[in-house]
Structure 1
Amino acid sequence: MSATTRNAATRLLGIEHPIVQGPFGGGLSSVELAGTVSDLGGLGSFGAHMLPPERIGPLVEALRARTRRPFAVNLWVSDHDAGGLDLDEATFERHWPLFEPYFRELGVPKPERMERGHPPFAAQVEALLEARPPVFSFVFGIPEAGVLRECRRRGIVTVGAATTVAEAQALDEAGVDAIVATGAEAGGHRPSFLAPAEESLTGTFALVPLVVERVRVPVIAAGGIADGRGVRAALALGAQAVQIGTAFLACRQSGTSDLHREVLFSPQACETTLTRAFTGRLARGVRNRWTEQMAACRDRLPPFPITGWFVSRLKPAALAAGRSDLLSLWSGQIAPNLRHRDAVALMQSLLAELYGHSPTHEEKLA
């Protein structure tokens, strides 16, 4: 198997094995998880899209202190949808009645009006360039040409996400170093940027070979992969690495809650849904009371990030009360097959299944 696991993608990323840990935003990433995956020869990732610019440099320093291996920092290129940049008093009062019953139910007082719900990407990427992480991965678009040129000048590898062939081709033409082809099975947000996310739902194992034949750079498969079988299948279709999200999110080293982890290992994880009800952008999570009730009033949901701002004010109280029915429970469709609660055990299992045994020194270097 060494001939297919030591390839352009692993050389580009500076990793031993073709495994990338998916980046999680909103506090779900952790330095420990990213460092653990990187130390074991994969590419650990940290979703930094909610961090203000002044925290990105310290984050990269913390990751460098945790691991000597390459790691990725992820940002969202598009930081708001139309109408979602600011929330004036009239708009706040118009949207408040949709969320007010849940605030009452959880005993959370009416929040002060949001000033800005998401840090500006332009300032974030400037801080990232200054910090120089080994890999800059991004979703929801393509950074401007000047940013990509500066990444090349500073030796930062760029990795963009595509949900369609057209998006992959746009990334390729822009000069991105590698492309994540993310299928509809994946948990979390659908990072579409050329067509509506609801119209960009090709499955992973159709999307990967379509993209591989139409771009020049290495392709990383994402969505519906949680074990060595999935890795082998993606490589057989032409991907040169895989990105695994839900299986790593379920590990104790991630930043998610114990309540979320327990749901991922429960029968409830058999039912996921695509919803805009948690942030205003389409994302896959476990079906619960919130997704069901909000589906009935989807036309009233405010745009991203206003919906996410309201929901974030409810999250601490929902967690404290053990209310998984009111939490965002991000999950891919593969969740019922999860077996590991520890990132070391997960990596060891992935490598044993991929190679058929623990990789030898020669296979690592092949």
Structure 2
Amino acid sequence: MLAQFGMSIPLIAAPMSGGPSTPAMVSAATQAGGFGLLAAGYKTVEAIEAEIKAVRSEGIPFGVNVFTPNPLPVDPDSYRAYAAIMQREADQFGVTLPPEPIEDTDRFDDKIALLLADPVPMVSFTFGIPPRSAISSLQRAGSVTVQTVTTAEEAAQARDAGVDMLAVQAAVAGGHSGTLSPRTPLTPVPLVDLVEQIDATVGLPVLAAGGIATPGAVADVMRAGAAAAVVGTVLLRAAESGASATHQAALTDPARTETVLTHAFTGRPARGLRNAFIDAHEAEAPLGYPALHYLTSPLRKAAAAAGKPEYVHLWAGTGYRHATAEPTADILRRLAADL
């Protein structure tokens, strides 16, 4: 399935929404012999269209990742109570947060329409499984479809929906979990075990994701049956990364010694470097996505711009200490060294 993309190393640059993944990173990953995915999450259709155009001008295969709606509505009273707490935090940056919940679909239908009108070689999904009609339409347009899953049960659901491949994500992955059941605590199954289990039972090609940051880890998932390894956190400090300077600096801060799962920033489980915001608000934050994302987004952006990492979602997987400041191509080639 991946052979059509001409990959000489089985490494995929993960789609990291919110800024880290850039057209330059996608191009560098593919030109290094791997593959890159643009992140459509949180972007306007016009912005994605521009990024697709930028990568397509390089004449290389690439993909686009889309957030599939999987509503996690927030209780309005719980939202307002949390919003009052957040506004007090935001006051120091002079920003105003939305007092009422914002619920939307991240323009899912419009983004699928774009990808049908202007097809790309691969389209991947996370957060939810799209309608079978959307999957089959993209396939008819020539796109390989990939679904992010976190358990064997989710993998079976994705297979039954008709996707071509699975991105199997372990709980140690940085950023948002692709779990289809965000109200249920994540089960920490080692990635190698998860890949072996799904490869043996579901019958679709597997892309392995989560905590992969060394050549040995890449070799392990390939031996377990993965068609390729997906890496994200290890690219956050790459020359082509769009991650904020505040985020990149935190990855090397010796005082930051652990990553934790949190829903305090966005109302949906995600892994990041532990900081004061998580410590202060994790226990009181309601579940609710995307409402909490929209609530805290202005605060997080202002804090990142001000160099205040204690108020920023410092997304990172457990391999964050291996993130290096060098070109994407060099990082990927090194990760393939044990194959």
Same fold per TM (> 0.5)?
yes
Q: Does structure 1 retain, via aligned residues, the 8 Å contact 2:12–2:36? A: yes
DSSP-derived class of the 2:50 partner? helix
Name the CA distance, whole Å, in 2 between partners of 1:174 and 1:123: 21
Q: Does structure 2 retain, via aligned residues, the 8 Å contact 1:273–1:287? A: yes
What is residue 231 of structure 1 aligned with on the other side? 218
Name the CA distance, whole Å, in 2 between partners of 1:217 and 1:258: 39
What is residue 362 of structure 1 aligned with on the other side? none
Range that drifts further, 101-110 or 129-138: 101-110
Range that drifts further, 92-101 or 131-140: 92-101
**1:36 paired to 2:28:** yes
The residue identity in structure 2 corresponding to 1:20 is: I
Choose from 165, 180, 198 the match for 1:193: 180
**1:287 paired to 2:278:** no
DSSP-derived class of the 1:267 partner? coil
Choose from 106, 117, 136 the match for 1:149: 136
TM-score, normalised relative to structure 2:
0.92
Choose from 311, 314, 319 the match for 1:329: 314
Shift of the alpha carbon at 1:306?
1.4
Q: Which runs of 5+ in 1 are unaligned?
A: 1-8, 356-366
Name the CA distance, whole Å, in 1 between partners of 2:184 and 2:18: 20
Residues 79 and 165 (structure 1), Cα distance of their counterparts in 2 relative to 1, 3 Å cut = closer
DSSP-derived class of the 1:277 partner? coil
Shift of the alpha carbon at 1:32?
0.7
Choose from 45, 65, 81 the match for 1:74: 65
Q: Does structure 2 retain, via aligned residues, the 8 Å contact 1:136–1:159? A: yes
Name the CA distance, whole Å, in 2 between partners of 1:230 and 1:282: 24
- Higher helix fraction (1 or 2): 1
Choose from 225, 230, 248 the match for 1:243: 230
Over aligned residues, Cα RMSD in angstroms?
A: 2.2
Name the CA distance, whole Å, in 1 between partners of 2:182 and 2:83: 29
Name the CA distance, whole Å, in 2 between partners of 1:306 and 1:249: 26
Residues 339 and 14 (structure 1), Cα distance of their counterparts in 2 relative to 1, 3 Å cut = same
Choose from 187, 192, 201 the match for 1:214: 201
Choose from 308, 313, 317 the match for 2:298: 313
**1:97 paired to 2:84:** yes
Residues 233 and 102 (structure 1), Cα distance of their counterparts in 2 relative to 1, 3 Å cut = same
Range that drifts further, 199-208 or 136-145: 199-208
Range that drifts further, 127-136 or 311-320: 311-320
Choose from 40, 43, 55 the match for 1:51: 43
Shift of the alpha carbon at 1:334?
1.1
* Corresponding pairs, count: 339
Question: What are the superposed Cα offsets for residues 340-361 of structure 1, whole Å, 9 maximum, x if unpaired?
Answer: 433122123123x134xxxxxx
Name the CA distance, whole Å, in 1 between partners of 2:314 and 2:295: 16
What is residue 165 of structure 1 aligned with on the other side? 152
Shift of the alpha carbon at 1:269?
4.4
What is residue 354 of structure 1 aligned with on the other side? 338
Name the CA distance, whole Å, in 1 between partners of 2:79 and 2:165: 40
Name the CA distance, whole Å, in 2 between partners of 1:103 and 1:118: 25
Residues 194 and 314 (structure 1), Cα distance of their counterparts in 2 relative to 1, 3 Å cut = closer
Q: Does structure 1 retain, via aligned residues, the 8 Å contact 2:72–2:287? A: no
Question: What are the superposed Cα offsets for residues 121-151 of structure 1, whole Å, 9 maximum, x if unpaired?
Answer: 1222122221201110111122111111112
Q: Does structure 2 retain, via aligned residues, the 8 Å contact 1:267–1:336? A: no
Q: Does structure 2 retain, via aligned residues, the 8 Å contact 1:73–1:137? A: yes
Residues 49 and 195 (structure 1), Cα distance of their counterparts in 2 relative to 1, 3 Å cut = closer
Identity rate, percent: 29
Shift of the alpha carbon at 1:94?
4.5
